[in-house]
Structure 1
Amino acid sequence: MHNTPIDPDVTALLDELGPSSPVAAADLTGEELRQGARDAIAVFTRGAAPIPVHRVTDEFVQGRGGKIPVRLYHPETPTSVMVYLHGGAWITGGIDTHDLVTRRLSRDTGALVVSVDYRMLPEHPFPAPFDDAYDAVVWARSLHPGLPLLVAGDSAGGTLSACVALRARDGVDSPRIDGQVLVYPGIDDDLDAPSMRECRDCSRTSVEDLRFFLHQYASHEAAAGSAYALPGRAASLTGLPPAVVAVAGHDLLRSSEKEYARRLQDDGVSVTLLFDPELVHSWIDFAPRVPAADRAFTRLTDAVNDLVRRLPA
């Protein structure tokens, strides 16, 4: 437990959303959850100017489950290729909701960012989101074979990124992944972790809502026990690429994220742990309006740039 209070600008911004819904996530449809997420992002980005990048293109990747929409943010001279997987509990979010995030990542790191519109629950259970994420990474490897390839994502997208890194490590003829950027990722389904108790009143997402999301995703028959659903299930993390792990102080997932970072280090993986004690889950979406989140975003991109600089030629 830490004693840093939630940043008051975060509290003020969340208050603009109005009171928390008394309706449990389990009682809403996928589209109702998605509309709620779109409404929240509209508040978080209100008044934000578009972030310019050199060129933006929309394309399709042929995946095993069909065509996967992707949006590419091209810098004039890319330093790396970054596949970005959006958050949203594997149910909400998309290329458009995360457009400001991916634009800023491209601008501030020089990466060619590939934002992936992977299939989501409940219409497409596991392994559909994971398969799309992995297939997009395989495709992205061919874009600039001489440049570093990073997988990145926030929340559920951070989970997918960590799992794709595991799959690439384990597979034959898998793409080489040079770095993983995990922004408050879901690591496991331990709902008794210390932060689950300490942050029960910090979040607009209840522990019961989280239980529902995890059950929908990671308890599906194909996902049961699989480290490709939740990376904390992996027996060993040896051989994974260097990682940047961003953790928010007031987050139900905090304990498991810190433990995963420790396990990575213990297994010989280089880890940059970014801990923002005053922030909450979803802070990357707040950056346009919350100075503390804006500063955290800068620390994140600085860490990514440092990771890329330290990679062997």
Structure 2
Amino acid sequence: MNAAALMPDLPPVRGKLTAHAPLAPLVWFKAGGAADWLFEPQDADDLADFLAALDPAVPVMALGLGSNLIVRDGGVPGVVVRLGKAFARVERLDATSLRCGGGASGILVSSTARDAGIGGLEFLRSIPGTVGGFVRMNGGAYGREVKDILVEADIVLRTGERVTLPLDALGYTYRHSELPEGAVVIAATFRGHPEAPETVQAEMDRISAAREASQPLRSKTGGSTFKNPPGEKAWALVDRAGCRGLTLGGAQVSEKHTNFLINTGDATSAEIEALGEEVRRRVKAESGVTLEWEIQRVGRAAEGDGA
């Protein structure tokens, strides 16, 4: 379904609705096609009213910072929802809890927790994304996951219905939740523990230094490409299969961290995804392990890609 076909049927909005909106500038790989429509709602009511009135056949996808995402070169059908400043607030609820908007970054959440004397949320500093993405994917790093800190999440379903789901309703497993298709996380409540701000800052500094030393943070990348298999480290399996520095077109397996793919300049999303598939093939042949993608791959292949 293309943008022109959708135009007469889209409900009115108070926020910003853009047809054929390029997504490459909004994702970390800086590659990929356009969204049929990009919707930046003014507030939660604007989002809920829009989804309630939108034809149920039109697909909806939420987009955060685009750090763990391959947008295929043919673009994304339907409506991509991007939460702006109205959804980026973080406020303290009590001595150990924060209410965080779905568009708030991990840096903002962890820094607010530090200032409030709340420990246990430091790992969010290391995940380049927003609360909505963390909640959907059970984001984690350095031994902690969202399931360890989440109390509840506020969701707008694809139908426009607003619900609050407790932790046990999200069906969390490793980098996965059972949130329904088209649902948008607009807020979450996280709980930590009392901690001295200087102790929280020290842990954030430790995590930041570890990331700087081991990850290609200044490259056009998508973060961790593959999930760690049980009892294994994905990067070690990739390295053992001889894939460090492997290239395909403008895409490359990072020399610094082999579980990262990078766009060396003008890679297409098709090249990035195909390189990932080649890595999976080589790892399977070398170790017998089938790596699972951690990076989300969305949208349509460009005509002629055959992907």
Give the TM-score, by structure 2 length.
0.29
Query: Greater CA radius of gyration, 1 or 2?
Result: 2
Q: Which has the higher strand share?
A: 2
For normalisation by structure 1, the TM-score amounts to: 0.29
The structure with the largest helix share of the pair is 1
